[in-house]
């Protein structure tokens, strides 16, 4: 059984970005905002050291406000993509380095066996040939996150790539969703010191106004990141895990 050590994360080893030596980096986000929440500090630090950072946003994020008339799906998709570009610009990533796949939000689990979608991931990874990939924790409670991990993992295996895979938790921080899972792999966890850029990360997260404020006010049952949830991503460190 595997569970991330989120109860007492301060007991985990604290590493400097200089110990990672990531080469060309790819950040994979299931939804627009996951990259800032899970890896915003790492992105800012990597760019400050002039590492090449590419970002792949998998879904269109349009299920966050499904009943909004002011922001129907096409409008919401455009808004969320603009928020992503603003957030990443703050972290040092140019728009040309960001790719939006625009797969349907909430339906990624139905696409993990799609030959066309699997081919898209293989082609993308083959084109940029990253040395390190930051991707969602394989057992994240959200099915889109688990499916994103599966799609990336399958593409890596199909291509026979030798690439470091660093996984980040998102919804495991919610104690009501967190759970142990059956897993034969040995996973180690550690923290990345982001103290020097945590304010920058906070600004990047705040760029996602559709997810953190009442900007979209005509869908009372819509998704919104609570202050309690956001607090988990504003520590002077980020938590990561790797298979060993």
Number of neighbouring beta carbons within 10 Å of residue 61: 31
Determine the pLDDT at residue 196: 98
Residue 183 in contact with residue 2, Cβ under 8 Å? yes
- Which CATH architecture best describes the domain 9-243? 3-Layer(aba) Sandwich (3.40)
Per-residue pLDDT reduced to its tens digit, 187-197: 899 999 999 99
* Residue 184 pLDDT exceeds 90: no
Average pLDDT over residues 188-212: 97
Give the span between the Cα atoms of 93 and 45, in whole angstroms.
11
Whole-model pTM over 0.75: yes
Q: Within the chain, where are the H helices?
A: 34-48, 73-91, 115-128, 143-159, 198-206, 209-212, 227-231
Determine the pLDDT at residue 220: 86
Give the span between the Cα atoms of 65 and 20, in whole angstroms.
38
Number of neighbouring beta carbons within 10 Å of residue 101: 17
């Amino acid at each position: 059984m595997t569970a991330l050590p989120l109860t007492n994360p301060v007991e985990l080893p604290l590493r400097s970005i200089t110990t990672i030596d990531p080469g060309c980096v790819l950040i994979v986000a299931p939804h627009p905002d996951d990259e800032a929440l899970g890896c915003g500090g790492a992105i800012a630090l990597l760019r400050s050291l002039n590492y090449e950072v590419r970002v792949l946003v998998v879904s269109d994020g349009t299920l966050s406000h499904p009943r909004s008339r002011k922001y129907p799906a096409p409008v919401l998709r455009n808004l969320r993509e603009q928020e992503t570009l603003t957030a990443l610009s703050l972290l040092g990533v140019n728009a040309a380095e960001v790719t939006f796949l625009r797969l349907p939000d909430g339906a990624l689990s139905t696409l993990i066996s799609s030959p066309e979608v699997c081919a898209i991931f293989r082609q993308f990874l083959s084109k940029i040939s990253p040395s390190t990939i930051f991707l969602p924790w394989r057992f994240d409670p959200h099915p889109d996150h688990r499916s994103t991990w599966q799609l990336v993992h399958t593409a890596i295996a199909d291509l026979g790539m030798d690439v470091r895979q660093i996984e980040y938790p998102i919804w495991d921080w919610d104690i009501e969703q967190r759970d142990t899972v059956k897993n034969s792999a040995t996973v180690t966890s550690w923290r990345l010191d982001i103290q020097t850029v945590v304010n920058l990360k906070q600004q990047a997260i705040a760029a996602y106004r559709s997810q953190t404020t009442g900007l979209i006010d005509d869908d009372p049952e819509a998704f919104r990141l609570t202050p309690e949830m956001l607090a988990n991503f504003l520590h002077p460190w980020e938590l990561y895990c790797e298979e060993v």
